[in-house]
Structure 1
Amino acid sequence: MNRQQTIEHTLRQTLSPIHLQVVDETHKHSVPANTESHYQVIAVSAQFSGKTLLQRHRLINAALAEELAGGIHALALHTMTPEEWLEKNSQIPNSPPCLGGGVK
């Protein structure tokens, strides 16, 4: 199982999401081939109800602690309740562009 599949599997078990999308965005960054280090996660789960954005992110970070310790450099999180997902018409923002590993 590659890292993207591991993230998906872990979050499906942890969140029971109604929608989950894990996008490997590593190719958009200045890293060696096969690095598997930059991801975007769109997670829609009733488990986020009543939780702040920080609490939602901590829930995901705790679930992915092993992966985060093993080489993930960037994790863009979009966490919504089913109601929020409907309000946004299933739209999520794009991840920011790569700055080449340095501050510009």
Structure 2
Amino acid sequence: MTSLSESVSGLEPNLTRAQRVRKVLQTALFPTRLDLLDESHRHAHHVEQTRGPHAGATETHFRLYIVSPVFEGMSRVARSRKVHELLEPELADGLHALALTLRTPAEEEAAA
């Protein structure tokens, strides 16, 4: 069975990882806000960047800020699991780290 992220990213193989991540998350989470920051340059000299199966990989570390109604009623752990499940193919193919801020629209409004 093909996952949502595999089917979405598989449609346009020429996309960058950031574009694929954004497309998967937009399709699955219907976010009212989706900020994606590539922080890979801050980790360029880490061991996993210089050795191993993904040595020299780019787009390996992302900071994501997502506001989505899909997160309503979900714990913080469940939200994180959801995002990791959606991005599993990317995580298996060199995406190394995600820094996540995951909010509902009500939480975002309260924080403003």
**TM-score normalised to the size of structure 1?**
0.80
Corresponding position of 1:36: 59
From 101, 105, 111, give the equivalent of 1:78: 101
2:79 to 24, 47, 56: 56
Deviating 4+ runs (over 2 angstroms): 30-34
SS in 2 for 1:71: coil
Give 5+ residue unaligned stretches, structure 1: 90-104
Using the alignment, how far apart are the partners of 1:73 and 1:65 within structure 2? 11
Mapped contact 2:57–2:94 kept (Cα < 8 A): no
- Would you tell me which structure has more helix in proportion to its own residues? 2
- In structure 2, the partner of 1:21 is 35
Give the paired residue count: 89
- The residue type paired with residue 25 of structure 1 is E
Please say if 1:5 is aligned against 2:19: yes
Question: In structure 2, how many angstroms separate the alpha carbons of the residues matched to 1:88 and 1:67?
Answer: 31
Instruction: Give the CA RMSD over aligned residues.
Output: 1.4
TM-score by length of 2: 0.74
Percent identical pairs in the alignment equals 36
Is the Cα contact below 8 Å between 2:36 and 2:65 reproduced in 1?
A: yes
Gaps of 5+ in 2: 1-14, 50-55
